[in-house]
Amino acid sequence: MQPLANNPALRSQMEDQVNFMTDLLTKTYDALRKLSDLNMRLAQQMIEDALGMSRQMVSCSDPFQMPSAAMSRIQPTAEHLRSYQQQLMGMLTSVQSELARSTEGQLALTSRGASAMADQMARGAGAATQAAEHAGAARNPT
């Protein structure tokens, strides 16, 4: 019987698994990078909005103008949050579809590889059984 290290079907199966994991890790890294960029843009926008609101409130000469000044700055902040949410949902949907495509492709490869490995192992086991039978018949010529 052929050792597992020299089994081409097993080697191919293992290479397919490594390639699949590499693909998943690359896609996950890219998704995390995109998420980080999106979060940094939101943080920058929120800081700019807070600074704008602070400037507007400081410039108020009448304390009763402060609430209306603050309310006027809430709309842009809400728009930034809404935009962030839409971009986040789009990014997550895109990542999910990419991972699903990769997984579907890998399932087909895994099925073919497992079938090839099982066939090869069955042929190897059949050859080993025949060799043992011939060896046993040669020792007992009865």
Q: Yes or no: say if 119 and 29 are a contact pair by the CB < 8 Å rule.
A: no
Q: What is the pLDDT of residues 58-73, one digit of tens each?
A: 888 888 888 888 888 8
User: Model confidence over 34-92: pLDDT tens digits?
Assistant: 999 999 999 999 999 999 888 888 888 888 888 888 888 888 899 999 999 999 999 99
Is this prediction's pTM over 0.75?
no
* Domain boundary assignment for the chain: 4-139
Pairwise CA distance, residues 28 & 59, whole Å: 46
